[in-house]
Structure formats: structure tokens, C-alpha cells
Structure 1
Amino acid sequence: MLIRVLGGFLMALADSVPGVSGGTIAFLMGIYDEFIGSLNNIVSKDKEKRKAAVLFLVKLGSGWIIGMAMASIIINQIFEKHIYNISSLFIGFVLFAMPIIIMEEKESIVGRYYNIVFSLIGAAVVVAVAYFSVHGVLGNGIDLAWGHFGLGVGIYLFVTAMFAISAMVLPGISGSTLLLVFGLYQAVIGAVSSFFKLDFTYLPALIIFGCGVIAGVLTVVKVLSYGLKKKRSAMMYFILGMMIGSFYAIAIGPASLKENPQPPMTLETFNVWFFLIGGVVIFGLQFLKAMVDKRDAAKK
């Protein structure tokens, strides 16, 4: 229960800022396959599978809601004011996470180097998304308050949500980065923050966004689930490629800020201490996962 709630909480923190996906956190905590499987099984014809999926997602979702509430109100402001420190932290997350993933997926990675082409594709996708988040942002100035947007923006928001959820469940790329590409990051985070402050004028927009997320779960996530079961090696190489590409995404992230864009990260603005804190957090999560696995093994 604690692992599920904590996992959801940390996933929300990762999902709320451009850079690292909540899927990366799920992967590190050993709940990624269960997360994808639950999303896939929530519409399963098997009653037991559907029940288990709902129970898992309720636990994960409770932590996610708490994390997103905190992030939208507090973390986003910290991200704006201390962008280089936070970016250094995320680089630490990604870099220290990669060897752990390689070790855990050794069977599907070692000896199958022909799949490295999928790593190149994964890296290219993230780099392209990050590049356009800085040079091709759409929809600046969108107001999601009720009465301030029309049918076109509503459809745009729905479609964007479908793509954003696909990024959120993939380790390597943040759904927030994708929101930046479509020019909706500030609008969506602002709407979520206002909602948690009991301003319900943004509720219709959030409902539309939520429906888009559900539509994405029913379509895109099924494709991901199939890929992990049938083409796991290719998927792992693709995910690692996306994580490599996210170094570029994080480095140029400061330039994509709407209110106060900053120059991309350089060696001078890189903070080694926050980078090392990122490593400590990753290894701490891995230690926690190992302790839970040890306890579960002892019960069996």
C-alpha cells in the first residue's frame, strides 16, 4: 500500500514538470509493468483482473492526486525560480537510473544490440519534442476558464491529453514536456492549481482533459502493453534512447519557460550538488524496492 501511494506521489511530482516522466519513477519502484497492465486491464472482460486493476490504480491514484496538488501549487513556483538546480536534479535522476534499468532488464538488453536502432529513434523523438517546445510552441495565451475558450480549444485540449498520457506512462519523456510543445503547459498547470484552490471555473476544461486522458489509456496504452509483452527488447532499447534524449530536453528546458525564459543549461549553471542528490534519491528508491522485494520473498 505504502509503495503504491508513494509511487503515485512521486510520479505526480515527475509528471508535473518538464523533464522526467512519471513512468521512469514507476519503473524504478518496480511497479511499471503492473501500472501498464492495470491501465490495460481496467476494461478487461475478466472480472478479477478488472477488480485488481481498479484497486491498484486507486492506491496509485490517491498518491498521484496528493502529489499533483502539491506540485501545481508549490513545486511549479520552485521550478520557475530555481530552474537550474531542479534541472541538475533531474539529470541526476536520469543518469543514475539508467544503469539500474540496464541491470534489471539485462536479459532483454545484453546480446540484442541490433535493437540499438530503437534507441536512436527514442532519443530522436525526445530531442525533437524538446526542440519544438522551445522553437515551436503553439497556443500561447490560452485561458481554460469556463467561457474563455471555444469548441476548437476544447478539441485541441482533448487531443493533447491523449498524447500527454502516452508520454506520462513511458519512462524517458514527461507528459509536461509534451504539453509545452502544444503550448498548454502553463494553462493546464494553472487550471489544476486554481481547481485545488477551489476555483471551479476551470473544472469543465479539466473534465475535457480527463476525458482525453481516458481515451489515451484505452488506445495508446494498449499499444504500449502489447509492445512490452511481445517486443520487450526493442521497447527497452527505445525507452533507454528516450532517457538519453531527455538529457537534451532537460538542458534546454529553461528556455521553454513561458513567464521568464532562461538560457539553456551550461556547465556554469549546472549544480553538481543537486545532481548528486538526484543520485541519492534514485539509489534510495532502489534500496526501498529491494527491501520490499526481500520482505515479499520472505513471506513466500
Structure 2
Amino acid sequence: MTGLREWASLYLKGVAMGSADAVPGVSGGTIALIVGIYERLIAAVTAVDPARIRRLLAGARPANIPDARAAFHEIDGAFLFVLLAGIGTAVVAVLSGVDYLLETRPVATYGFFFGLIAASAAVLFGGVSLDTSRRKAAAIAGFSLAFLASGYASTALSSSPPVLFVAGAVAVSAMILPGVSGSLLLVVLGQYEYMSGTVSRFVDGLAAVALGNGTDALAETLPPVVTFLLGGLVGVFTIAHAVKYALAHARAATLAFLVSLIVGALRAPIVEVSIRLAESGETWSAAAPRFALAAVVGAALVLVLDRYSAGIEY
């Protein structure tokens, strides 16, 4: 029987993962490796399938409770529940803080993200081999996809339900991959700032309802939050399994694609800052020192994390 201390420890590990997942450039999967739960997490996530979900839902009938309990144990349900509670707590808290920083300190915030992304790419590229044409093609494809999307998505993609659904599928599935940040992919898709603001207003809406102050904020933010989460659920069943299959059958080429995706995504913070500067009338020469200093801090954080994860197989 797992004791309260073990569950509390698992919850805090979830908080650490969620804190990493909420900022672009740091992977929750890397944190899972560092704290020693990555293999169990992958086993639990990939054990979730439609058949087991149906068995769980069938537990609403008393006669099916034993089989539902068995399905819950098969997917390591208690582990997932406690871990996801920690991740959710941290994501909400961090995104609420990020929303404030993006409103008040956008240049420094995106500079920090740039440092996180750049250092992550530098660290991970040491483990990538580009000695075959297949791997080189995969690297070019990953870089090109992220680079082009970083310039297009921020200005052309709206936060419509289909876009949010796809963003949720991509971002949530990426959370279980070491080295790949789900929030980074949201930045590439031009949805990070929108979702951080939406989550912050959603939490405010919940608080307002609890205090009896109206439901307007909750009614406004609930649809995009639900759409994003539904996309994430689909992503766990599809994209995460597809990437796991690709890593098993073409590991080197897949890693080349994923890491090059991170390199191409370095354009995203630059584009976002350029948009803010154009809106405020400030020049890049005036903003560059703040951007660079924050980038150094972000890079240093990733290097510290890498030191603690040294020797771990990605």
C-alpha cells in the first residue's frame, strides 16, 4: 500500500513537471526522467485505450465495478490521477504568472523563452546523429516546419476551435517526450499567449462563481479550455503513440526531426517580440539588452537541469 508520503512526493513531481511544461523550451518529459518516473509514465499513458476507458465508464453499474477497478489498476490510474493533479496545479499557477509577465514584460519574457529554447536545442543536438541522408532529410523537415510555422502562425492563425483542438493534441502529446516542450509548440502555433490568458481568466471565473460574483468570465473561457483539453485527450491516443512507434522503429531520424523542430522554433520568440515592438513603437536596439539578459538566465536554467539529467537516455 502506497503511503501518504509517497503520494505527496508524486504530487510534487507532477508540480515540477507542470512547471516545466508551462514554459516553452523546458520539457516535462525531461523532469520526469530526472525524478525517476518517466518509464512508469509512458507505460501508464500508453496503457490507456478505448477498451479500458469503456470498462471504467461501465463501472457506473454496480455489477461492473470489479472489472472497472481492474481496468483502473491496469492503467495505473492512481499514479496518473495524482501526477496529473500536480501537473494541473502547476500549469494553472505558472500560466497565470506568465500571462501577467507577457502583459507587463513581453520582451524579457520572450527573451527568457528564447534562452530556454536555444540551450535545450544545444544540449539535445549533442545526441543527434546526421550521418545518413535519411536523418539529414528529417532534420531539414523538422527545422523547416517549425521555422515556417513560427512566422506564419502568429499572424495568420486565429484561436478558433479547430486550431485550439489541434494545438491541444500537439502540445499535450509533446509533454511526455523528453526534450520537446508542449508550450514551445504552442508558441510555434501562435496559441501560447492566448491560452495563458484564457487559463488565467478561467481561474478568475471559477473564483468569481465560488464567491457568487457571476459566471461571465467562466462562460467565456470554458469553451476554449474544453476544446484544448479534448484535443489533448485525442493527442494522447494518437500523436503520442505515433511518436513512440517512430522512436521504436526509426529512433535516430525521429530524434533528428524533433531536435531540429526545436532549433527552427527559435524564430518564434523573435517574431513575437517584433510584433510587440511594432505595437509599442520601441526599437530592437533599445529592447535587445533586456532580451539578451533574460535569454542568458533562461539558458542557464536549462544547463542546470541538464547537469542533473546527465547520463539519462533520451
Relative to the length of structure 2, the TM-score reads 0.68
> CA separation in 1, counterparts of 2:89 and 2:130?
39
- Percent of residue pairs identical: 19
Which of 7, 25, 29 aligns to 1:20? It is: 25
Amino acid in structure 2 at the alignment position of 1:218:
F
Q: Equivalents in 1 of 2:282, 2:153: separation in Å?
A: 14
* Contact map agreement 1:133 1:256 (CA 8 A) in 2: no
2:261 is aligned to: 242
Decide whether aligned partners of structure 1 residues 163 and 52 sit closer, same or farther in structure 2, where only a CA change above 3 A counts. closer
Cross-structure match for 1:77: 100
- Matching residue's letter, 1:194: R
1:98-144 alpha-carbon deviations (Å, 9 max, x no partner): 454345x4xx73755751221111111111221112331324xxxxx
Q: Compare CA radii of gyration and give the structure with the larger one.
A: 2
- Output one character per residue of 1:178-216: Cα deviation in whole Å (capped at 9) or x when no partner: 4774x6555533332233231542335433332221112
Deviates more, 1:275-284 or 1:51-60: 51-60
Q: Which residue of 1 aligns with 2:112?
A: 89
Unaligned runs of 5+ in 1: 140-152, 294-300
Q: Is the 8 A contact 1:13 1:71 kept in 2?
A: yes
Q: Which moved more, 1:240-249 or 1:23-32?
A: 23-32
Q: C-alpha root-mean-square deviation of aligned residues, in Å?
A: 4.1
Paired with 1:280 and 1:273, the residues of 2 have a C-alpha distance of 11
Whether the 8 Å contact between 2:26 and 2:116 is mirrored in structure 1 is no
- Please list the CA deviations of residues 226-245 of structure 1 after superposition, one character each: whole Å capped at 9, or x if unmatched: 11112111111111201211
Aligned residues: 274
Q: 1:111 to 1:130 in 2, by over 3 A?
A: closer
Give, as a single letter, the amino acid of the residue that structure 1 aligns with 2:110.
S
Find out whether 1:161 has 2:148 as its counterpart. Answer: no
* Structure 2, gaps ≥5 residues long: 1-5, 53-69, 209-217
Which of 270, 293, 299 is 1:279 aligned to? 299
1:60 aligned partner: 83
Equivalence for 2:201: 194
One-letter code of the match for 1:190? G
How far apart, in 1, do the equivalents of 2:149 and 2:136 lie? 20
Alignment CA distance shift 1:232-1:271 (3 Å): same
TM-score, with structure 1 as normaliser: 0.70
Letter in 2 for 1:127: F
Match of 2:271 in 1: 252
Query: CA, structure 1 residues 158+88, in 2 after alignment: closer, same or farther (shift >3 Å)?
Result: closer
Q: Is contact 1:89–1:277 with CA below 8 Å preserved after alignment?
A: yes
The reply to whether residue 120 of structure 1 matches residue 140 of structure 2 is: yes
Give the Cα separation in 2 of the matches to 1:109 and 1:272: 30
